[in-house]
Amino acid sequence: MKNHFRHDVLVIGSGAAGLTLALNLSSIGKVAVISKDRLKDGSTWYAQGGIAAVLDNKDSTDAHVTDTLNAGAGLCHEDAVRFTVENSTAAIEWLVEQGVAFTRNATDQEFHLTKEGGHTHRRIIHSADATGKAVHSTLIDKVRNTSNIEIFEKHIAVDLIQQADSNNPRLRCSGAYIYNREEDRVCTFSAKVVILATGGASKVYLYTSNPDGASGDGIAMAWRAGCRVANMEFNQFHPTCLYHPKAKTLLITEALRGEGAYLTLPNGERFMHRFDERGELAPRDIVARAIDHEMKRLGCDHLYLDISHREDDFINEHFPNVKKQCLQFGIDITKEPIPIVPAAHYTCGGIVVDKHGLTDLQNLYAIGESSFTGLHGANRMASNSLLECIVYARSAAQHIRQQLSSINEATEITTWDESKVTNSDEDVVISHNWDELRRFMWDYVGIVRTKKRLERAEHRVKLLQKEIAEYYSNYKISNDLVELRNLVMVAQLIIRSALERKESRGLHYSLDYPDLGKITRDTMLVPTNFAAQNVIVDHQ
């Protein structure tokens, strides 16, 4: 049974970022794509709204940049924003070349562009209300039909492999230990370069729009390997997820509000105008806090999103999937409002990278939601996330293409050793800890925070880390244990970051520090085993 796999490029993650990079590198070497579940079981598949890009002659790069900077509450890195927006048109053109079928106007067959919160122009290109599925399915088909790409589904990365480099004072990443879920064994994957495209960590919260795999694996692995992380306190809560006992993670796209949907109280009264002059089109952090405020004020479990005043034909044409999904729960959006609640949606912070996606660890890249590029600042603007995936995946691929031939293959990699561990007969510990973590993160580190709540969460997370470290050391690993270990690590990073930010800005709102601070800065966490401590690395 093969236990050691060798490739030129190891891509951990199978969403838009990972598959885009794999396709852009398949012509120069052997590429392995690691997928925790099936290829389609990541966040990309479920993205509804669209991709923000400058595609209309009435729009401009400067306008898109300005809107993003405004939404980011002073923490966006303007060079990263401009780099992303300047490459937005080329990114969309590449997706069209791959065969993504974006929605077109019936009259002139030009791409139909919609508008979402924070945008001053219609610049959201989409495929009806299932853009992520259209993009992801196209990329999956391409990857499956590319001979130089080897796909490993039902595999989850456990940890990165680090080695000293005789030609460089910095440590290098030479691969990863990967757990084969179906065969219940850990394999060694070595590669010249490794790319983390593992998505975010919203599963750390009790209520989330994300699929089950969003457990912060890449962020946790990179931190353990000595990479810096930044701005982990900025967790975006999507304002409108379906509130229904049987609807686990059904997000109601922001595009509904872009096309005139109202947010209402249980009595049908609109309220957003009391919080922001932009009403329903205010940035997500403002909308989520407004909903949270009204729910707590009224003591109700949910509010409503209502688009039933629009024509049935319009709703059927633009939101067929939202209508279909809601009908499964007995809600007809053409006739009645949708019960909604905010839910954890996007991790704005992550692994510190440069414009090529390069981390502090030599030969290790991070792209997509797991990375911190400086694009999102204190609040991600709608539909910039898929854009970031494509732009930075293509940029990383270009950089790797220039470097790959000069990187020597790793030698003498230590294989995984589980000779001293046993099978556990107490997996209930994992499920209990998983449940406790997500509940106290929701209660203490949610939309509105206080110093006391954060300190309480910090105390609980340290106890959990101790328990999990002991469990991890003594028993054979499982998928649930790997995810829980990573989630607890990410939770600690979120709490530490939130405690360090003594102000309210963007997605971080503290009752103890309700005002903006005088100094605008990122929250940069540096691990004790900082991978680049022997050299100066400028990532911005």
Do 119 and 69 touch, CB atoms closer than 8 A? Answer: no
Do 483 and 199 touch, CB atoms closer than 8 A? Answer: no
Identify the pLDDT of residue 193: 98
- Does pLDDT of 534 surpass 60? no
Q: Evaluate whether the domain defined by 27-233+348-406 bears CATH number 3.50.50.60.
A: yes
What is the CATH number that goes with domain 428-513?
A: 1.20.58.100
More confident residue, 530 or 196: 196
What is the CATH number that goes with domain 237-345?
A: 3.90.700.10
Do 249 and 241 touch, CB atoms closer than 8 A? Answer: yes
User: Residues spanned by CATH 3.50.50.60 within the chain?
Assistant: 27-233+348-406
Report d(CA 503, CA 517) in Å as an integer. 5
Identify the pLDDT of residue 115: 87
Q: For 317-342, how does the pLDDT look when each residue is reduced to its tens digit (9 = 90+)?
A: 999 999 999 999 999 999 999 999 99
How much is the mean pLDDT over the chain?
A: 92
- Concatenating the DSSP letter of every residue in 192-231 gives EEEEE-----GGGSSSBSS-TT-S-HHHHHHHHTT--EE-
Identify the pLDDT of residue 358: 98
Q: Among 103-112, 359-368, 393-402, 515-524, name the one with the lowest average pLDDT.
A: 103-112
Taking residues 389-417, what's their average pLDDT? 92
More confident residue, 284 or 84: 84
**CB-based contacts of 194, cutoff 8 Å, min separation 6:** 9, 10, 12, 160, 173, 174, 175, 176, 363, 364, 365
User: Residues spanned by CATH 3.90.700.10 within the chain?
Assistant: 237-345
- Does pLDDT of 350 surpass 80? yes
Identify the pLDDT of residue 482: 94
Report d(CA 526, CA 540) in Å as an integer. 16
Task: Name the pLDDT band for 206 (thresholds 50, 70, 90).
Answer: confident
Identify the pLDDT of residue 171: 87
User: Residues spanned by CATH 1.20.58.100 within the chain?
Assistant: 428-513
Identify the pLDDT of residue 426: 67
More confident residue, 118 or 420: 118
Report d(CA 394, CA 375) in Å as an integer. 16
Report d(CA 419, CA 385) in Å as an integer. 42
Q: For 221-270, how does the pLDDT look when each residue is reduced to its tens digit (9 = 90+)?
A: 999 999 999 999 999 998 899 999 888 778 898 889 989 999 999 999 99
Task: Select from 506, 229, 510, 185 the least CA-distant residue to 351.
Answer: 229
> Percentage of the chain surpassing pLDDT 70?
98
Chain centroid, CA 467 distance in Å: 27
Identify the pLDDT of residue 537: 47
With H, G, I as helix, E, B as strand and everything else as coil, classify residue 156: strand
Q: For 412-459, how does the pLDDT look when each residue is reduced to its tens digit (9 = 90+)?
A: 888 887 766 777 766 788 888 989 999 899 889 999 999 999 999 999
Q: For 264-287, how does the pLDDT look when each residue is reduced to its tens digit (9 = 90+)?
A: 999 999 999 999 999 999 877 789
The residues annotated with a catalytic role in the active site are: 284
The amino acid at residue 201 is: A
Task: Name the pLDDT band for 408 (thresholds 50, 70, 90).
Answer: confident
Task: Select from 327, 347, 159, 333 the least CA-distant residue to 259.
Answer: 333
Do 355 and 395 touch, CB atoms closer than 8 A? Answer: yes
Do 449 and 480 touch, CB atoms closer than 8 A? Answer: no
- Does pLDDT of 539 surpass 60? no
Taking residues 468-497, what's their average pLDDT? 93
> Percentage of the chain surpassing pLDDT 90?
76
- Does pLDDT of 536 surpass 60? no
Strand-pair partners of 251 = 241
